[in-house]
């Protein structure tokens, strides 16, 4: 450790690097902005590959413009060549072409990365306010090309219902859906149950033949967005520190709950506070 202008400098070798492949949120509560804030708060250096630009505020998406698949690939490749990336997360990928490009690029990384870089996939299909964000062809690309590469997939109940084709309205149906998804994609599934009724937000992990629950008290009366982005980024940050998956999820669950509880507010606009 050295000093610069009276401040201690942290050696780069001690700071893990995490990559977010996601959309840019103009209100900075979700997407790559939320991911970068989360990485920073948890001691990780964040780098990004931007997939699209989203004009939005909490609860309302006004417009989405994807970037080219080529520039998405270039961002990932140039970062991978120059940074020791220790974990990757994906968020909004916008189109079937971009999903396929990300999958192909990450497969190429797996061929040269030993050990394989942990990958957390947040399948962002629908915005918090209910706006659809992906066409069916893109969801199909997720299922066929990207999900099989994941270390962990983190669907909420709406996304899981889209994948399994049945309603999920209680803990029992969550367990059935999670087991089905784990079997289908051959990877860890963290099914987020925050939309179920009750005082606790309970998520269920299906991984390595085991089923584990993670619970925190719900924070009511906060109308914000970006919780899924923040949660998956926090899990990726834990994996970047080489934490066991269960520990990474436990810490991430607390972080996102604290971010909601200590939210910012401007009149009717709420935003997560990632500086916990």
| 229 noted as active-site residue | yes
Q: Are the CB atoms for 215 and 200 separated by under 8 Å?
A: yes
| 221 noted as active-site residue | no
Q: Give me the catalytic one of 229, 250, 253, 257.
A: 229
Q: Give me the catalytic one of 224, 230, 250, 257.
A: 224
| 227 noted as active-site residue | yes
Q: Give me the catalytic one of 226, 230, 250, 257.
A: 226
| Tokens linked to 24 | 């840019």
| 228 noted as active-site residue | yes
Q: Give me the catalytic one of 23, 194, 228, 238.
A: 228
Cβ of 274: how many Cβ atoms within 10 Å? 27
Q: Give me the catalytic one of 23, 38, 128, 192.
A: 192
Q: Give me the catalytic one of 101, 227, 230, 250.
A: 227
* Residue among 14, 18, 19 nearest 1 (CA): 14
| 51 noted as active-site residue | no
| 151 noted as active-site residue | no
Q: Are the CB atoms for 211 and 95 separated by under 8 Å?
A: no
Report, as residue numbers or ranges, the catalytic residues.
192, 224, 226-229
């Amino acid at each position: 450790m050295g000093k610069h202008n009276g401040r201690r400098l942290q050696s780069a070798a001690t700071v893990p690097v995490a990559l977010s492949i996601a959309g840019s949120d103009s209100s900075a509560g979700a997407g790559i902005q939320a991911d970068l804030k989360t990485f920073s708060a948890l001691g990780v250096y964040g780098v990004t590959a931007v997939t699209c630009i989203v004009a939005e505020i909490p609860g309302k998406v006004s417009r989405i413009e994807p970037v080219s698949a080529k520039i998405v690939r270039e961002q990932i490749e140039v970062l991978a060549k120059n940074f020791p990336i220790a974990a990757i997360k994906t968020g909004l990928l916008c189109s079937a072409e971009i999903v396929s490009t990300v999958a192909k690029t990450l497969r190429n990384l797996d061929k040269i990365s030993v050990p394989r870089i942990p990958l957390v996939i947040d399948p962002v299909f629908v915005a918090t306010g209910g706006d659809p964000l992906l066409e069916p062809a893109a969801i199909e690309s997720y299922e066929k090309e990207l999900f099989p590469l994941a270390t962990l997939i983190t669907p909420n109940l709406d996304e899981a219902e889209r994948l399994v084709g049945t309603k999920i309205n209680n803990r029992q149906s969550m367990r059935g859906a999670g087991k089905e998804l784990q079997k289908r994609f051959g990877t860890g599934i963290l099914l987020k149950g925050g939309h179920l009724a009750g005082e606790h937000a309970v998520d269920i992990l299906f991984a390595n033949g085991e089923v584990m629950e993670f619970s925190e008290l719900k924070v009511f009366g906060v109308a914000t967005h970006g919780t899924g982005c923040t949660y998956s980024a926090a899990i990726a940050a834990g994996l970047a520190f080489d934490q066991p998956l269960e520990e990474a999820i436990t810490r991430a669950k607390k972080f996102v709950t604290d971010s909601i509880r200590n939210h910012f507010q401007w009149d009717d606009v709420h935003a997560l506070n990632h500086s916990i």
